[in-house]
Chains A and B, each alone.
Chain A
Amino acid sequence: MIKNRANFSSRKYVVIAIFSVVVLVLLIKLFMIQVVDQSYKHSSDNNTLRYITQYPARGKVYDRNGRLMVYNEAIYDLMVIPRQVKNLDTLDFCSSLDITREFFQERMAKARRYSTFSPSVFLAQITKEEYGKIAENLHKYPGFYFQTRSVRNYPYPVAAHTLGNIGEVSKKDLEKDSYYKTGDYIGKSGVEYFYEKELRGDKGLKIIVVDVHNREKESFMDGQFDTLPVAGKDIYLGLDAELQLYGERLLKDKTGSIVAIEPSTGQILAMVSSPAYDPNELVGRVRGENYKKLLNDSLKPLVNRATSGIYPPGSTFKMINGLIVLQSGVVTPKSAFPCYGKESQPIRCTHSHNSPVALYEAIENSCNPYFWETFREMFASSRFSSSKEAYSYWYDMVVSFGLGSTFKTDIPSELAGNIPKSSYYEKLYRGSWNALTIRSLSIGQGEILVTPLQLANMAAAIGNEGFYYPPHLIKSFSDDTPIDSALTTKRIIDIKPKHFKDVKIGMCRVFEGEHGTARMSQIDSIQVAGKTGTAENPHGDDHSLFMGFAPADNPQIAIAVVVENAGFGSQWAAPIASLMIEKYLRGYIKNTNKEKRFLE
């Protein structure tokens, strides 16, 4: 069996040496971490590590002039690690926290279900005063500790719909994004929701050695494994806090909304929805209760009427029709049409004025027959081979103003409104329809529905003479992160600027002409262009509408006002718009008599 071969049996010493050296290296390393390196040590008295999330400061929100609108205030969450709860005097614990035994058991069960050895929020949002009371007795309750958190605070009690609020993350949020842990806060609506990623910042982590008596002893390994939180970005909105506040005061005790836009940027200057509520009501432990109250209010204060209230635009829509017929070449500003006042067919005129009327007077007097006649002329024009073709031309122009769809920017809860497609009428009238069938559209009634936001944007587009920037809330971030380029991209309307100029002349006469529907709302030394509207409302009294901009030749503010069930546009919407414009452009109201009836 044994063959004559080189004998390598002495090589066993090399192999044994390799085994021994490797085991020795392992032992040396073990000696280093078990005996030499004291930082791993928390001796054998049952110390444990506690991982404390370091919450970053959520970004603040400022208005366009740097006025603080949202900031953070410290509160405390009482955390529990169920495994570490030992020998708890439940009665004493409950009485010092002022909670019932049932509540205690329910919260503990919930925490245990989540995890027995990871922390859960036991009691959220404890105020500074309550915190002081409990903190001194905390050593009696092992397994419980405090975590500092912050809640939002709003120095201006306004713009609740726009700013939105934060609340505990839902199950869905937890599944969608691993950044969140149970009990974390997340933006639920408005700016807080849309800019959540920017505002939240990055969490940090602190590892602390805790002894058996629930006392925090020291930072683990000198904080070698700790990470610092990174504060969220601050946001500057296009909103003007003072203007917003003024707007909310003007609409107090009314139902309706105001939207003001800076035409040269598309930034929202004010967005009022009334009835409103104080955003501070939806903060802290009172949030749930107040939310329920607001939800059940018959006036629906939680609905943002500025973006999701939809109304027939009424006479304000005549500007669009005027522009389209001019662009189609069927009429010129000189083309005049007769008006028979109340005898007019098929739509009567509600104002008394000269006849015939051309564009400027027609706008000044809000003459229904003029806009019906021009609408009819366009449909009858040899340019178009059918009603359907004419309608498609009209439709494309209308939607290029941003009507009939949402802007999809950072504005919350937008509704699209309604501009019917030709297919809608094809189906409704089985292919047999013409201008007469859809005549209500010529005066902004019928199926057309718009939101106040769309109406304000329409005013901005007319003020700009043919383009607009999609309306949005953000102005800039505190660092130099650029805002979404879609927000700063011009959208152009395919109508010649000269037609806009003609319509503008008419809109100025609404304020300046002797029959102008808003002549009572003129502002000393500021030229306003605008149009009132009285929208027929099948559910009750007419809505009072206004849209316009100022100064007429170089608009700095475009505005839309809707006051529900208030009657004529000239009575409510126009004066409110005029006050807003003066407040924004001048900073104060020169003739305070004008605001008296709103502010009392």
Chain B
Amino acid sequence: MTTRNNIIGKIDWWLLAMYCALVVIGVSAIYAAAFNEAHPSLFDLSQHYGKQFLFAGVSVFLGLLILLIDAKFFNTFAYVIYGFSILLLLYVLVGGSTIAGSKSWIQFGGFSFQPSEFAKFGTALALAHYLGGVNTDFSKMKTQAIAYGLVLFPMMLVLMQGDAGSSLVFLVFILVFYREGMSGKILIIGFVAIVLFLLTLYFSKWYVLIGVAVVSVAIVFLIERTKKNILKLIAVFAVSAVFIFSVDFFFYDILKQHQRTRINIILGIEKDIYGVGYNLHQSKIAIGSGGFAGKGYLQGTMTKYNFVPEQHTDFIFCTIGEEFGFIGSFVLLSLYLALLIRIIFLAERQRSPFSRIYGYAIASIIFFHLMVNIGMTIGLLPVIGIPLPFLSYGGSSLLMFSLMFFVFLKQDANRMNIL
């Protein structure tokens, strides 16, 4: 096969351009956030930006490699990669290193690597392979159970590492299931559950229960009052009540104090600008101080004086918010949204269900990271330490997102060869 010419001609250059733009923005932002006057060179490997620049180079090299190997490789070895990622997760539970409170790292040489990042990739492949299989029918209960199992298993393992933030990412596969035929009701139930969850934390469980009861009674007057409908409503109410009490139990008896505190700070229940709330408080000031047009590149004072801890990693968006203002934030978010929509459209034009499902999976993962990461820096969501895709400092994060991205790019470029 004359792979080379074929590939270059068929690559979606728009998608690749967006990827490159995000990586360049990321390295520049890290340069601004971690800037050290004593080492102004971007290529200084002793500095965060030097390292990130190196990681970016490695990522591009990795991308080229993926573009050159056979497209069927990832479909064929999907379960092997999934199995390997599960093994890594199990290994971490036994021999992992603890960084920032969660035992989720493997260290070799000078680098540390988070297998949970790799597990997202593995799960996306396995799910795409399974649901895209010739004899798989998602309308069957058994199929659904297996598909959910593929996601829940790594999710539980990540949760056991004490990394609740990363384990939440797996929930986003619900969008993939929805696309493949899962009932829309589950999406709605999920949404209602989140609302009830938040309300239960804000108010006493008894108030929420009374609220649900009032809404239920109101619905009785709106719908046709058949026996069946009434019974259904009572069932819904009962399930809600059980849910509310479980949340209460979960929040006060299962969550750890620092997780509880983070959620409480977001909800405004606790105010603690020196402890956990410090990051959030500083991050909001940095972003807010950027104003409409920003302070200009390398001119952000909050950024330069290290007012925001972890700024080069999970709080990298602060730098963009402060130095480029609302315009910069708008451009960046638009870029992400364009990338997501592009992936969805490309996914839909795939002939192979594997490629389509895989495309949805990575779009969902990028979406979830984007939502939670930016949501936390501006105080919409709890401080959950997950990176901003392609931007945050960190080798394993950038490499994994690049890997996921290039595998999709390759699948898309190869779409005509299917059949």
Q: Which residues of A contact B (CB under 8 A)?
A: 1-3, 5-6, 8-9, 11-12, 14-16, 18-20, 22-23, 25-27, 29-31, 33-35, 37, 39-44, 46-49, 83, 117, 225
**Of B181, B330, B348, which is within 8 A of A27 by CB?**
B330
**Residue B312 is within 8 A (CB to CB) of chain A in the complex:** no
Contacting residue for A40 out of B285, B296, B347, CB 8 A: B285
Bound state CA distance, A231 and B139, in angstroms? Answer: 69
Check if B305 sits within 8 Å of A83, measured CB to CB.
Answer: yes
Say yes or no for B291: interface residue by CB 8 A criterion. Answer: yes
B302: which A residues are within 8 A, CB to CB?
48
Report whether B181 and A43 are in contact in the complex, using a CB–CB cutoff of 8 Å: no
CB <8 Å contact, B333 and A26: yes
Cβ-defined contact, B181 with A34, below 8 A: no
For window 349-406 of B, CB contacts with A under 8 Å fall at: 351-352, 360, 363, 367, 370-371, 374-375, 378-380
The residue on A at minimum CB distance from B306 is: A117
Complex Cα–Cα for A458 and B249 (A): 60
Q: Does any Cβ of A come within 8 Å of B287's Cβ?
A: yes
Contacts of B374 in A (CB 8 A): 26
Q: Which residue of A lies closest to B184 (CB)?
A: A14
Contact, CB under 8 Å: B292 / A34: yes
A-B contact pairs, 25 of them (CB 8 A): A6-B181, A8-B179, A8-B180, A12-B345, A12-B348, A14-B178, A16-B344, A19-B341, A19-B363, A20-B341, A22-B367, A23-B336, A23-B337, A23-B370, A26-B378, A30-B330, A31-B326, A34-B287, A34-B325, A39-B288, A40-B288, A44-B291, A44-B293, A48-B305, A117-B306
Chief secondary structure at chain B's binding surface: helix
Complex contacts, A9 vs chain B, CB 8 Å: 348
Q: Could you tell me the distance between the alpha carbons of A3 and B290 in the complex, rounded to whole angstroms?
A: 53
A8, A20, A30, A35 pick with most chain B CB within 10 angstroms: A30
**CB–CB A48/B301 < 8 A:** yes
Q: In the complex, what residues of A have CB within 8 A of residue B363's CB?
A: 15, 19
Contacts of B301 in A (CB 8 A): 46-48
- Asked if residues A34 and B321 are in contact (CB atoms below 8 Å), the reply is yes
**Which 9 residue pairs are nearest across A and B when measured between Cβ atoms?**
A40-B288, A44-B295, A34-B326, A33-B288, A23-B337, A30-B329, A117-B305, A19-B340, A22-B371
Complex Cα distance, B255 from A568, in Å, reads 75
B284 touches A27 (CB 8 A): no
267-316 of chain B: CB within 8 A of chain A? 273, 281, 284-285, 287-296, 299, 301-302, 305-307
Q: Per a CB cutoff under 8 Å, which of B184, B325, B337, B351 touches A20?
A: B337
User: Please, what's the 1-or-0 string for B13-49, where 1 marks a CB less than 8 Å from any CB in chain A?
Assistant: 0000000000000000000000000000000000000
Bound complex: CA of A19 vs CA of B134, how far in Å? 30
Residues of chain A contacted by B306 (CB below 8 angstroms): 117
Contact, CB under 8 Å: A49 / B285? yes
Known: A34-B292, A83-B305. A8 touches B181 (CB 8 A): yes
Distance in angstroms from B279 CB to nearest chain A CB is 14
Residue of A nearest to B274 (CB): A205
Instruction: Give the distance to chain A from B336, nearest Cβ to Cβ, in Å.
Output: 7
A6 to B378, CA, bound (A): 41
Chain B residues closer than 8 Å to A30, beta-carbon distance: 287, 321, 326, 329-330, 333, 378
User: What per-residue 1/0 map shows which CB atoms of B315-345 lie under 8 Å from chain A?
Assistant: 0000001000110011001101100110011
Closest to A6 in B: B181
Q: How far is the CB of A328 from chain B (nearest CB, A)?
A: 61
Q: Which residues of B contact A5 (CB under 8 A)?
A: 137, 181
Chain A minimum-CB-distance residue to B418: A1
Complex: chain A residue closest to B378, CB-CB: A29
**Residues of chain A with a CB closer than 8 A to B336's CB:** 23
Pair B178/A1 contact, Cβ less than 8 Å: no
Give the interface centre of A16, A23, A29, A44 by most chain B CB atoms within 10 Å. A44
Query: Which of B175, B305, B334 is A18 in contact with, Cβ under 8 Å?
Result: B175
Complex CA distance for A1 and B284, rounded to whole angstroms: 51
Q: Is the CB of B326 within 8 A of A35?
A: yes
Q: Is the CB of B291 within 8 A of A19?
A: no
Residues of chain B with a CB closer than 8 A to A117's CB: 305-306
Cα(A34)–Cα(B293), bound, Å: 9
Structural contact, B291 and A34, CB atoms closer than 8 A: yes
Residues of chain B within 8 A of A1, CB atoms compared = 351-352, 418-419
Q: Considering only CB atoms and an 8 Å cut-off, how many residues of chain B contact the other chain?
A: 58
List of B residues within 8 angstroms of A47 by Cβ:
289, 301
B residues less than 8 Å from A2 (CB atoms): 351
Are A34 and B290 interface neighbours, CB within 8 A?
yes
Nearest to B176 among chain A residues (CB) is A15
A83: chain B residues within 8 A (beta carbon): 305
Give the nearest-CB partner of B175 in chain A: A15
Q: Are B295 and A25 in contact (CB under 8 A)?
A: no
Q: Which of A11, A15, A18, A49 has the most CB of B within 10 A?
A: A15
In the bound complex, how far is the Cα of B341 from the Cα of A20, in angstroms?
9
Of chain A, the residue at the smallest CB distance from B330 is A27
Smallest CB separation, B130 vs chain A (Å) = 15
Q: How far is the CA of A296 from the CA of B159 in the complex (A)?
A: 64
Nearest chain A CB to B343 CB, angstrom units? 10
A11 to B360 alpha-carbon distance, docked (Å): 11
Contacts of B295 in A (CB 8 A): 44
A44 touches B299 (CB 8 A): yes
CA distance A118 to B284 in the complex (A): 20
Given A5-B137, A41-B289, 18 other A-B residues pairs in contact with their CB atoms under 8 A: A1-B351, A15-B178, A15-B179, A15-B360, A19-B340, A23-B370, A25-B380, A26-B374, A27-B333, A29-B379, A30-B326, A30-B378, A34-B292, A37-B288, A44-B293, A44-B296, A49-B307, A225-B273
Q: Are A26 and B375 in contact (CB under 8 A)?
A: yes
How far in angstroms is the closest Cβ of chain A from B228? Answer: 26
Closest to A23 in B: B337
Q: For B329, give the chain A residue with the smallest CB separation.
A: A30
Which residues of chain A come closer than 8 Å to B345, judged between CB atoms?
12
By a CB distance below 8 angstroms, the chain B residues around A12 are 179, 344-345, 347-348
Closest to B367 in A: A19
Chain B positions 170 through 207: 1 when the CB is less than 8 Å from some CB of chain A, otherwise 0: 00000100111100100000000000000000000000
Closest to B334 in A: A23
Residue on A nearest B271 in the bound complex, by CB: A225
Inter-subunit contact A35/B291 (CB<8 Å): yes
Contact yes or no, B344 A41, CB < 8 A: no
Report A-chain residues with C-beta under 8 Å of the C-beta of B419. Answer: 1
Closest to B327 in A: A34
Q: Which of B180, B329, B344, B380 contacts A34 (CB 8 A)?
A: B329
Contact A44 B294 (CB under 8 A): yes
**Cα separation A22 to B336 with both chains bound (whole Å):** 12
Q: Bound state CA distance, A43 and B290, in angstroms?
A: 8
Of all chain A residues, the one with the shortest Cβ separation from B290 is A34
Find chain A residues with CB under 8 A from B287 CB: 30, 33-34, 40
Residue in A2, A31, A40, A83 with the greatest tally of chain B CB atoms within 10 Å: A40
| Residues of chain B contacted by A44 (CB below 8 angstroms) | 291, 293-296, 299
- Decide yes or no: A19 and B348 within 8 Å by CB, A8-B180, A34-B326 being known contacts: no
**A257–B247 alpha-carbon span in the complex (Å):** 68
Q: How far is the CA of A2 from the CA of B356 in the complex (A)?
A: 12
Interface string of B133-147 (1 = CB under 8 A from A): 010010100000000
When the two chains form their complex, are residues B292 and A35 in contact, meaning their CB atoms are under 8 A apart? yes
The answer to whether A23 and B333 touch across the interface, beta carbons within 8 angstroms, is yes
CB-nearest residue of chain A to B333: A23
Asked whether, in the complex, the Cβ of B288 is within 8 Å of the Cβ of A41, the reply is yes
**Closest Cβ–Cβ distance, residue A510 to chain B (whole Å):** 64
Q: In the assembly, what is the distance between CA of A8 and CA of B179, in Å? A: 6
Contacts of A15 in B (CB 8 A): 175, 178-179, 344, 360, 363
Chain A's closest residue to B294 (CB) is A44
Distance of A4 from chain B, by nearest CB (Å): 10
CB distance from A537 to the nearest CB of B (A): 58
Q: Name B305's closest neighbour in chain A (CB-CB).
A: A117
Chain A residues contacting B347 (CB-CB under 8 Å) are 12
Across-interface contacts of B337 in A (CB, < 8 A): 19-20, 23
